[in-house]
Amino acid sequence: MKEIIKITIALTISCLVAGLVIGTTFIFTAKAKQHNEHLNVEQTMLGLLGYGKSKPAPAELKLHPIHRYILSDPDTARMGYVIPVNRDGGQGFDLVELDLKGQFLKRQPLDLSAETVLSAEDRKKALAAVLGPSAEIAFADTAIIACRNGQREAYLLPGEFPGFKTFIKAMVAVGADFRMLGLEVLEHEEDPGLGGEITRDYFKNQFIGKSFDTLKRLKVVKEPLPPEYERYLECLGQADAGLAAREAEEMERLYREKDIYALTGATISSAAVTNGVKGMVRKFAYRIQILDQAITTEKIPVLF
């Protein structure tokens, strides 16, 4: 009987120790994974802004995330923005609440740092602490504002939209005037050799340079991609593109305001990306205008 008790105690202690080790390992590896994912996303964003190994991002370039939430109580629903602000000469984060018509409701400081704001779980805890237990907090989306010397240079918009098979995850970069700077397809399950070609430069780069007005009416055309235009698209953004400056300027002039040439045999995937990009930019342009109005009216010291 004593031996059975000893064995039971030993097994219990072993299980507790193993559980502690596994739990601790999970915590540290989860944080490391989150950090690596953030670095990968940051590299994608910098790439869309034209920076990389051959052209490092300048030290004065700052990327400021804003996180949008749908907040609701038993009687009301409203939008909440987690935004970076200047607090005592340093960086802090505030919750700015707007009603569904875009009217300012309230502004509250949040217990978040530049590190913890990257965590969806930490953001939700900080929101719950100021909103109370009755509030429902639903994450909507994130946008990143790229600033240089205090001036907005671009907006980076991660998002997803329906594809031919499942959802397509993408990141769009637009200038301060919402002109298209770049598109990156992050994840998809489109058919290889057909819809899977949405990751190719000759398709993605068709969006670059489109003005906001052009983007709003953009559609997909079932016409063969002109060979000289395809060559230009494949070379776009490359340091040694082998394309004469005059030729590049002519291609840009001819096709800047044209519609998107569909991928061969994948019109649905082509249209899915085109409509998805249009929707992301149009919705963001509307929302940032509303948020900016509240920031200006309430004199909120934002970092962007």
Which residue is it, tokens 């309430």? 298
Predicted confidence band of residue 94 (pLDDT cuts 50, 70, 90): very high
Parallel, antiparallel, or unpaired: how do β-strands 136-148 and 104-110 relate? unpaired
Both tokens assigned to 7: 């064995």
For the segment 198-205, the average pLDDT, to the nearest whole number, is 97
Indicate if the pLDDT at residue 99 is higher than 70.
yes
For the segment 282-301, the average pLDDT, to the nearest whole number, is 98
Average pLDDT, the chain: 91
Indicate if the pLDDT at residue 297 is higher than 80.
yes
Indicate if the pLDDT at residue 76 is higher than 80.
yes
Predicted confidence band of residue 266 (pLDDT cuts 50, 70, 90): very high
Q: In the chain, pLDDT over 90 holds for what percent of residues?
A: 79
Indicate if the pLDDT at residue 137 is higher than 60.
yes
Task: Give the integer Cα–Cα distance in Å for 39 and 292.
Answer: 28
Indicate if the pLDDT at residue 2 is higher than 90.
no
Identify the pLDDT of residue 244: 80
First vs last C-alpha separation in the chain: 71
Indicate if the pLDDT at residue 168 is higher than 90.
yes
Angle at 117 between CA 113 and CA 118, to 5 degrees: 130
Q: Cβ distance 48 to 208 under 8 Å?
A: no
Predicted confidence band of residue 34 (pLDDT cuts 50, 70, 90): low
Identify the pLDDT of residue 23: 59
How many C-beta atoms surround the C-beta of residue 74 within 10 A? 7
For the segment 141-170, the average pLDDT, to the nearest whole number, is 96
Write the CB contacts of 128 (distance below 8 Å, at least 6 apart in sequence).
Answer: 135, 137
For the segment 110-119, the average pLDDT, to the nearest whole number, is 96
Indicate if the pLDDT at residue 61 is higher than 80.
yes
Task: Give the integer Cα–Cα distance in Å for 93 and 166.
Answer: 35
Task: Give the integer Cα–Cα distance in Å for 141 and 159.
Answer: 7
Indicate if the pLDDT at residue 15 is higher than 60.
no
Q: Cβ distance 248 to 240 under 8 Å?
A: no
Which of 6-15, 84-93, 244-253 has the highest mean predicted lDDT (pLDDT)? Answer: 84-93
Report domain extents, the chain: 1-48, 61-142, 153-287
When comparing pLDDT for 238 and 160, which is higher? Answer: 160
HEC-encoded secondary structure of 184-226: EEEECCCCCCCHHHHHCHHHHHHHCCCCHHHHHCCCEECCCCC
Indicate if the pLDDT at residue 237 is higher than 80.
no
Indicate if the pLDDT at residue 40 is higher than 90.
no
Judged by DSSP in three states, 131 sits in: helix
Identify the pLDDT of residue 75: 85
Identify the pLDDT of residue 236: 86
Indicate if the pLDDT at residue 33 is higher than 70.
no
How many C-beta atoms surround the C-beta of residue 51 within 10 A? 15
For the segment 191-220, the average pLDDT, to the nearest whole number, is 96
